């Protein structure tokens, strides 16, 4: 009787030197060779998601022993502080003196103690930055946070922007450039990295530097840090522009279809993604009888009406539509 595949695999594993699988860096299933292994928290097992083999059992769950069903419960039961973050120059590890002039029991403190706390607060804020590099980082990260709030981008973008700025600072790319310019360029790069594109015009509106300087600084740090940015897909702008123009899902779907078909014919090469998306939305609004003027679409996309007209003509010719 021939031995089963599982038995042969297990015997082969025992013949290998101890820790051979760990050296490869990726755990694989001994039955089917898949690396899609799933941890079962309720049973403490490591299971192959493809064939169902239990690879390991008796795993230790490193999570908390308590359960929480909303944010307030999680906050009240947690026994640790806030997680570290790249958006603060000290990564959130230092302490701060509370601005409330009250003691541990919630009672107001005397005027003498109040002035003492004010001085302590002031000096504590000063000693949080030990040198010019940290002061530079503190100012830049506060600028990134301010601009990200104005743009309404999620926290993940702020974290990525902070990491990019830290890398630029460590490699001495700030020298000869304004802190605001590099911080704005880092935020623009982070938006593109996270797939939440914002145009240079939108970025420059919330920044204190000009569009030309942002673009120049962005190209420089992108090249020096090897960020490997992919071209922005115009379809990523369509939902936001359609929402601001109060257009239906039908128009949004039609605009995406126009972009896909015309991009396949090579029309997108060398074109501004915002202008391309705006023209597709304008064409889709006409086809779906939800007409918007070129001026309305241009204002939302922050491009000129001439750009929309040119891209629109190219797109309808490529689609074989006669206006």
Tell me whether residue 288 is annotated as binding: no
- The string of DSSP codes covering 238-288 is HHHHHHHHT--HHHHHHHHHHHHHHHHTTTTTTS-HHHHHHHHHHHHHHHT
Cα(239)–Cα(300) distance, integer angstroms: 12
Cα(13)–Cα(35) distance, integer angstroms: 16
Cα(31)–Cα(45) distance, integer angstroms: 16
Cα(249)–Cα(263) distance, integer angstroms: 21
- Ramachandran sector of residue 3 (left: φ over 0; alpha: ψ -120 to 50; beta: rest): beta
3-class DSSP state of 88: coil
Cα(239)–Cα(280) distance, integer angstroms: 12
The alpha carbon of 4 is separated from its chain's Cα centroid by a whole number of angstroms, namely: 48
The alpha carbon of 224 is separated from its chain's Cα centroid by a whole number of angstroms, namely: 21
First to last CA, the chain: 76
Tell me whether residue 191 is annotated as binding: no
The alpha carbon of 156 is separated from its chain's Cα centroid by a whole number of angstroms, namely: 4
Cα(261)–Cα(284) distance, integer angstroms: 13
Q: Which two tokens stand for residue 137?
A: 């980082």
Cα(186)–Cα(161) distance, integer angstroms: 5
Cα(206)–Cα(44) distance, integer angstroms: 50
Which residues lie across from 54 on neighbouring strands? 47
Enumerate the known binding-site residues. 29, 32, 48, 51
Enumerate the known binding-site residues for Zn(2+). 29, 32, 48, 51
């Amino acid at each position: 009787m021939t031995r089963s595949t599982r038995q042969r695999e297990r015997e082969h594993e025992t013949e290998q030197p101890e820790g051979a699988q760990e050296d490869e860096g990726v755990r694989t299933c001994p039955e089917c060779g898949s690396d899609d292994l799933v941890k079962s928290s309720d049973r403490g097992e490591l299971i192959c998601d493809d064939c169902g083999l239990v690879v390991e059992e008796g795993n230790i769950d490193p999570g908390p022993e308590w359960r929480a069903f909303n944010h307030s419960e999680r906050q009240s039961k947690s026994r640790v502080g806030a997680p570290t973050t790249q958006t603060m120059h000290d990564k959130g590890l230092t302490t701060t003196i509370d601005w409330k002039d009250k003691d541990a029991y919630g009672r107001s403190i005397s005027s003498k103690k109040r002035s003492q706390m004010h001085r302590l607060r002031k000096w504590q804020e000063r000693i949080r930055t030990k040198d010019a590099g940290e002061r530079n980082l503190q100012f830049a990260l506060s600028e990134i946070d301010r601009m990200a709030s104005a743009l309404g981008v999620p926290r993940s973008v702020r974290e990525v922007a902070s990491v990019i700025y830290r890398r630029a600072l460590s490699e001495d790319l700030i020298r000869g450039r304004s802190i605001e310019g590099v911080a704005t360029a880092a935020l623009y790069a982070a938006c593109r990295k996270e797939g939440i594109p914002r145009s240079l015009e939108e970025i420059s509106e919330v920044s204190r530097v000009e569009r030309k300087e942002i673009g120049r600084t962005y190209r420089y740090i992108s090249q020096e840090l090897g960020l490997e940015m992919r071209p922005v897909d115009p379809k990523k702008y369509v939902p936001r522009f359609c929402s601001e123009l109060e257009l239906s899902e039908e128009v949004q779907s039609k605009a995406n279809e126009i972009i896909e078909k015309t991009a396949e014919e090579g029309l997108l090469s060398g074109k501004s993604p915002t202008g391309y998306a705006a023209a597709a939305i304008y064409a889709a609004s006409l086809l779906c009888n939800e007409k918007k003027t070129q001026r309305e679409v241009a204002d939302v996309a922050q491009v000129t009406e001439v750009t929309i007209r040119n891209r629109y003509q190219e797109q309808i010719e490529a689609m074989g539509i006669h206006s």
